[in-house]
Amino acid sequence: GAGVSQTPSNKVTEKGKYVELRCDPISGHTALYWYRQSLGQGPEFLIYFQGTGAADDSGLPNDRFFAVRPEGSVSTLKIQRTERGDSAVYLCASSPGPNLYEQYFGPGTRLTVT
């Protein structure tokens, strides 16, 4: 079946602009995760949804970052007033549920802030 998909695959934006990154999880997966990977680093956790609610948003770096999952499926990561330091690959993952199910990762969205 289809895996996790993310759109766009690449996004270039100017400093100060607003961006939205979309994640389509595997059908039926109730858990959804966002991570950020900077060059030469491992992925860094941002937020975890179980269903429609954010069960853990402890990784969001500041209030410019926000994520939603209104119907418990597709999720959107929103970044306001982008900064050059936000440039990274944003990864989405989904799993059938909590409690150590495997997380299935998407290909990522490469965000470049100029």
Partner 1 sequence: GNSVTQMEGPVTLSEEAFLTINCTYTATGYPSLFWYVQYPGEGLQLLLKATKADDKGSNKGFEATYRKETTSFHLEKGSVQVSDSAVYFCALTPSGSEKLVFGKGTKLTVNP
Q: Which residues bind partner 1 (CB under 8 A)?
A: 3-4, 31, 33, 35, 40-45, 48, 50, 55-56, 58-59, 91, 93, 98-100, 102-108
Task: State which residue, 34 or 73, has the beta carbon closest to partner 1.
Answer: 34
- Cα–Cα distance, 23 to 37 (Å, whole number): 16
Strands 44-50 and 31-37: antiparallel
Task: State which residue, 82 or 92, has the beta carbon closest to partner 1.
Answer: 92
Task: Tell me the closest approach of the beta carbon of residue 111 to partner 1, in angstroms.
Answer: 16
Task: State which residue, 14 or 99, has the beta carbon closest to partner 1.
Answer: 99
Closest by alpha carbon to 23, among 101, 89, 85? 89
Provide the b/e sequence for 19-50 (b: ≥16 CB within 10 Å): bebebbbbeebbbbbbbbeeeeeebeebbbbb
Task: State which residue, 37 or 87, has the beta carbon closest to partner 1.
Answer: 37
- Cα–Cα distance, 53 to 64 (Å, whole number): 19
Task: Tell me the closest approach of the beta carbon of residue 60 to partner 1, in angstroms.
Answer: 12
Instruction: Name the DSSP class of 107.
Output: -
Task: Tell me the closest approach of the beta carbon of residue 91 to partner 1, in angstroms.
Answer: 7
Task: Tell me the closest approach of the beta carbon of residue 43 to partner 1, in angstroms.
Answer: 5
